[in-house]
Structure 1
């Protein structure tokens, strides 16, 4: 991937990982999103629907579709929040817990396959670079000093 931009490498790699997970999940009638949701739901306590979206980094509409599909497949049940009756807590069913364990095995298998081919030092550097990228984005340090052309033109007038 020589001479590729960082964002291209990240995107191409993530798309390959997503295809791999979706292909594996498809064998079980699921999707990568369903697997990720299963792993994000606490096995014992469940999770509020409002907390799940941000935890997964999913938009509300995508999450709603995923949860509906999971409910139809018998993986989750929604229960009223006992603390706040307006909210909903999502709980895994017995089948959901089984599929969660399967999803965890798939993720661990992927991690192990990568770790067998990449030294610990390179993994540490990879994590370090990813953390720097996330910090730059979170702190809005990439485009913060640039001003849109229209804004520059308005100031010149």
Structure 2
């Protein structure tokens, strides 16, 4: 990947990770989005449905579709938010909590295998570079003033 652009490397790597997670989730009749949602929903108190999209980086329509599928599979249920009658809390069912643990162990296994093949210094550099990229993007420093980037 030496001659590839940074964005290509990020995209290709993320697509490989997503494909890997989807293949693993498929074994259990789920998807990566389902696993991510299971890990994002507060397992004890539930989570406001409106907070899930931003925390997961998902568009509302995709999140709605994912939550509907999870509800049909008996992984979640929705309940009125007692603090805000207009809102809805998404709770995990017992099966949802079991699948959450499975998702959690899958993510932890991924992390363990990567850490076994990448030393601490390399991992720290990777994290630092990712943080710089995210910061530059969030502060709109990539395209805002092209002259300033030279």
Q: What is the TM-score of this pair, normalised by structure 1?
A: 0.92
1:82-97 alignment, distance < 5 Å: 82-97=82-97
Determine which structure has more spread, i.e. the larger CA radius of gyration.
1
User: 1:153 corresponds to which residue?
Assistant: none
Is 1:45 the counterpart of 2:45? The answer is yes
Show structure 1 runs of 5+ residues with no match: 148-157
- The CA deviation at 1:83 is 1.1
Deviation for aligned residue 1:146? 3.5
TM-score (norm. length: structure 2): 0.97
Describe how 1:1-157 pairs up with structure 2 within 5 A: 1-146=1-146
- Number of residue equivalences: 147
For 2:112 and 2:74, the matched residues in 1 are separated by 30
Deviations 1:74-110 (A, max 9, x none): 0000000101111100000000000000000000000
Equivalent-residue separation in structure 1 for 2:84 and 2:42 (angstroms): 19
Task: Give 5+ residue unaligned stretches, structure 2.
Answer: none
Runs ≥4 in structure 1, deviation > 2 angstroms? Answer: none
